[in-house]
Structure 1
Amino acid sequence: MTVTEATGTAQAVALPEIADPSRVAPRDARQLSKLFFDRLAVLEEGTHEYQDARSTLIEMNMSLVRFAAGRFRSRGPEEMQDIVQVGMIGLIKAIDRFELTREVEFTTFAVPYIVGEIKRFFRDTSWAVHVPRRLQEARIHLAKATEELRTRTGRTPTVKELAVLMCLSEEEVNEARLASNGYSSSSLDATINSGDEGESVLADYIGSDDHALELVEDFHALAPMIAGLDERERRIIHMRFVDELTQAQIGEHLGVSQMHVSRLLNRTLAKLRTGMLTTR
């Protein structure tokens, strides 16, 4: 394997040719991933070489997605396809956010991202609410008892009548009724008759979280830290995250190499990250 000088003090390792990255064994993938992350650190984002190295990293580490998805194999083959696809999103996020300076194995860093993405998928797409098995069984008994009493009396039974027939307390009957709500759902587009105001949809009556509000505290904590940076550090942060310039473009503005910009940026972000952690 050859080594070529990339900039004044930085060196870039010539990457090995891999015919089929998806067939690389997990043990080999761990070692090769380090080389590819080293190369990404010296390549400009958006270039053909950068995209090739990133794509190879994704394919080499697909085994991590299969490993994480294996925890959910009971979901069935059709849903497993969706789980793997969602897990790939987590893998890509992990690759884009991983830095060798973290001094942790990429596998250790990536698996929580993959599992988290899969769990988020379940949270966002599941309609039924999970309830304890005890309440699942109580719901079945409740449905049978309700139907039996309705047939006998010709009306909807009271909680007290259900409690006597089911040999449960009234509190337990109410708990079973509440659990029954977890087995059905209504569309947010479901039409609701609002009387004189005409028809509206269920979504009109449901509030939503304003995720931007969660950032307010972080913004207040971060502002004095940014103010405490020197002028060049503030300028780099502004060009990278406000003007959205690449590291190479920032280097042209400052008259330094891309690698030097990368080091300055990493050092500044580490300083801000440390400051944010100490304020929590």
Structure 2
Amino acid sequence: MASTIVHDSDAATRVGRTRADGYDDIEPRLARLASIPPGDPERAVLREEIVRCCLPLADHIARRFTGRGETYDDLHQIASLGLVLAVDRFDPDRGSNFLAFAVPTIMGEVRRHFRDHTWAVRVPRRIKDLKLTLGPAVEALSQRLERPPTAVEIAVELDADLTEVTQALLAANAYRTDSLDSAAQTSDAEIHAAPVTETLGDDDPGYGLAEDALTVAPLLAELSDIDRAVLRLRFFEGQSQSRIAERLGVSQMHISRTLTRILADLRERALGD
């Protein structure tokens, strides 16, 4: 971003040259502002007049930063905040030009906004631009459909490519990044919260199940057809022992003993291997 921005002093000179007539009496008014006690109502009125007079300066700087992923309205608000800070911080006793002081102050606020609130990783410009249109489109579709819209409906609404709409919906994840070593956010705002790395991941029981399946599979293949049928009916189809006995034409006690024998045999052979 720095490579595309001229030096602050150059910007101040340009603004001062193009709007000199409008800022000719700014320093005397700022000197008068500094002489008024903080609690005097006249101070608030004069301060507001000075800020209003200098708003074109904030507008000029905000427009210089448009087209970089942020809306003009947001940039104008940030630049206006920088203008207020410049008015409050300016010291007339130093005899410096207000524009030379205000321009770096305002630009500093805008740059700080880009540093703290814009994209953490590179996202294609067309996706950034498309993302700016998603909010109004989603809001309009939600009211019309009375439910959250799908990506396809958003693409149709915006007459945009579905793939790019999907990328724009996911692009918010690239807006900011957080360190894995930073403290995790907690509901009670604990001061000594654990790092994110200590709150992510756990032993996955699926690995153990996979190992057990690989161990038991060849043992199941060696069972008789009737034993495999009993296991399938009991543990895969969830049938009761009495129901299995009825289907196979044997007693429930026989099924119970068969299951005990099969499981004991499989456990012994699996652990032995």
Instruction: Settle same-fold status: TM greater than 0.5.
Output: no
Q: Which has the larger radius of gyration?
A: 2
With normalisation by structure 1, the TM-score equals: 0.38
With normalisation by structure 2, the TM-score equals: 0.39
Larger strand percent: 1
